A = this chain, B = another copy of it.
Amino acid sequence: MLTKKQLDLLEFIHKRVQRDGVPPSFDEMKEALDLRSKSGIHRLITALEERGFIRRLAHRARALEIVKLPDALEAKLGGAPSPSGFEPRVIDGDRPDSRPSGARALESGGAIELPVMGQIAAGVPIAAIAEVSHQVSVPSSMVGKGDHYALEVKGDSMIDAGINNGDVVIIRETTTADNGDIVVALVEDAEATLKRYRRNGNAIALEAANPAYETRLFRDDQVKVQGRLVGLIRSY
């Protein structure tokens, strides 16, 4: 899957992250691989990204992250593959494989499994968040820090936001939101809806994205934000 150079670079990055917690800059990588130009690094990085081993943000310093390690490296260096903020949990026992297979059940490759906690009304509210009905896999790039869960959307009140009936939305648990965010809002401690959030003083507006539905206004003590929309998955 990888050429020697690519493997070397990946290994270097991995070590740096393990050591410093921060990925190296292009210049540091250039030094490490003994090159005289960053452009070479750029190409190697591109190749690694294309093959799905790292993920990155363009134009951001040190904005790269190892998503997975080839088996060869994983065996060689003991470290956990790292993604999304949880690695310091694995201790090395005598038999490292004692748990990786179980521990990473929810985190294998570039995906994470999230529980689908029932349905949510995008139109008229449905009962609040219920139980886990099943699990979905989502790209780990979709979830950042914090706890997440998924809900199945019922209704069409958010169609203008590109959220259709039957879509699965990925929600990050949070109790705050910024204006314009799409949130899971619990109204009057009874009904949960998916709406766009807008605050004005101590009034909260929950806007649908469908002209057929009206914006509803509440006092801020009537509405509890339960999560913010971070992703969406649809199957045809």
* Number of copies of this chain that the complex holds: 2
Identify the closest chain B residue to A73 (Cβ): B21
Chain A: how many interface residues by the 8 Å CB criterion? Answer: 75
Is B88 a contact partner of A101 (Cβ separation < 8 A)?
yes
Is A52 a contact partner of B21 (Cβ separation < 8 A)?
no
Q: Which residues of B contact A125 (CB under 8 A)?
A: none
The prevalent SS among residues of A at the interface is: mixed
Is B2 a contact partner of A62 (Cβ separation < 8 A)?
yes
Bound complex: CA A76 to CA B29 (Å) = 25
Identify the closest chain B residue to A232 (Cβ): B234
In the complex, A43 has a CB within 8 A of chain B:
no
Is B76 a contact partner of A21 (Cβ separation < 8 A)?
yes
In the complex, A49 has a CB within 8 A of chain B:
yes
Contacts A139-B137, A141-B235, A162-B164: A22 and B49 contacting too (C-beta < 8 A)?
no
Is B134 a contact partner of A55 (Cβ separation < 8 A)?
yes
Is B101 a contact partner of A85 (Cβ separation < 8 A)?
yes
